[in-house]
Amino acid sequence: MIVTQEEYMSRLFKLGAGAAVVGAVHILTLLLGWYVEVDEGRVLTLTGYSFFESFLFSTVGGLIAGLGLLIAYTLKKVYHVKNVLGGLATVGGSLAIASPLYTYVFRINALGLKGYPDIGMFIAIFTSLIQFTVGLIILLTPIKQEVVLPTEFELPPTLPETYTVPPATTRRREVARIIQAEDVEEGICTICYYPLSREDAVKCSACGALFHRDCIDAWVSINHICPGCKAYVYE
Ligand SMILES: [Zn+2]
Ligand SMILES: [Zn+2]
């Protein structure tokens, strides 16, 4: 499947935002019961934040995905956005996974608690796994660099050798010249879609469409019609 860089970028940001939201939900599970201690008829619910290491791991792990999103907004290159969003979501997800695991495997044994895990711990595991997986998806999605031309873009038609431009009286077509575009600071060539520099930028006198000098020369040599406005271009 071919996607433009912009589409790919917005997909990355959607995934990154998803990871950040899941990270935030993960932090909220600290407020829920993580473990129910049953001791001689006494039932006590322990919240996530009552385990210090889990409080630390979950808070940091959950926040990192959001931090990644903030940093990614300041970046321009797809490659950097992908690595920051994916990398931080994955690292945060790992920390978040470590949080309930650490509590369940080590802390509860060390404290000699008897009981069973509560709903909060399950949601914490679930959300941390999602965050980690989304991070991996971002990291492993290959970058597509293809640029798709808009559908209305027409390739120059191949004209017969004997092609002559009909006289102006029979064709009510505007006429235009290709002139220097010195006032251009930046722009995109209407033919090749690559950026223009001030030195090689020229434009159509009728519609102002910008081209590289070489691009429009090649175009005009086979088709005397401006690709921007269809005016007849005379040299
Ligand atoms: Zn060009
Ligand atoms: Zn034009």
pLDDT in tens, 142-183: 775 544 444 555 555 565 556 565 555 555 668 889 998 877
Calculate how far, in angstroms, residue 233's C-alpha sits from the geometric centre of ligand 1: 17
Q: Please report which confidence band the pLDDT of residue 186 belongs to, taking 50, 70 and 90 as the band edges.
A: confident
Q: Which ligand approaches the C-alpha of residue 177 most closely?
A: 2
Q: Which ligand approaches the C-alpha of residue 214 most closely?
A: 1
Q: Which ligand approaches the C-alpha of residue 174 most closely?
A: 2
Q: What is the pTM of this model?
A: 0.60
Q: Please report which confidence band the pLDDT of residue 211 belongs to, taking 50, 70 and 90 as the band edges.
A: very high
Residues 76-99 have pLDDT tens digits of: 888 889 999 999 999 999 999 999
Higher local confidence (pLDDT), 29 or 223: 29
Q: Which strands make up the sheet holding 178-180, listed edge to edge?
A: 178-180, 201-204, 210-212
pLDDT score of 222: 85
Q: Spell out the SS3 assignment of the chain.
A: CCCCHHHHHHHHHHHHHHHHHHHHHHHHHHHCEEEEEEECCEEEEEEHHHCHHHHHHHHHHHHHHHHHHHHHHCCCCHHHHHHHHHHHHHHHHHHHHHHHHHHHHHHHHHHCCCEEECHHHHHHHHHHHHHHHHHHHHHHCCCCCCCCCCCCCCCCCCCCCCCCCCCCCCCCCCEECEEECCCCCCCECCCCCCECCCCCEEEECCCCCEEEHHHHHHHHHHCCECCCCCCEECC
Q: Which ligand approaches the C-alpha of residue 230 most closely?
A: 2
pLDDT score of 58: 94
Calculate how far, in angstroms, residue 74's C-alpha sits from the geometric centre of ligand 1: 29
Check whether 54 has a pLDDT greater than 50. yes
pLDDT score of 163: 56
Q: Please return the burial class of 48, using the count of CB atoms within 10 Å of its CB with bins 0-12, 13-18 and 19+.
A: buried
Calculate how far, in angstroms, residue 226's C-alpha sits from the geometric centre of ligand 1: 13
Calculate how far, in angstroms, residue 208's C-alpha sits from the geometric centre of ligand 1: 15
Q: Please return the burial class of 15, using the count of CB atoms within 10 Å of its CB with bins 0-12, 13-18 and 19+.
A: buried
Q: Please report which confidence band the pLDDT of residue 226 belongs to, taking 50, 70 and 90 as the band edges.
A: very high
* Domain architecture of the chain: domains with CATH: 5-140 (1.20.140.150), 175-233 (3.30.40.10)
Calculate how far, in angstroms, residue 206's C-alpha sits from the geometric centre of ligand 1: 18
Residues 25-47 have pLDDT tens digits of: 999 999 999 999 998 888 889 99
Q: Which ligand approaches the C-alpha of residue 196 most closely?
A: 1
Calculate how far, in angstroms, residue 196's C-alpha sits from the geometric centre of ligand 1: 7
- Phi and psi at residue 87, to the nearest 5°: -60, -50
Calculate how far, in angstroms, residue 98's C-alpha sits from the geometric centre of ligand 2: 62
Calculate how far, in angstroms, residue 144's C-alpha sits from the geometric centre of ligand 1: 22
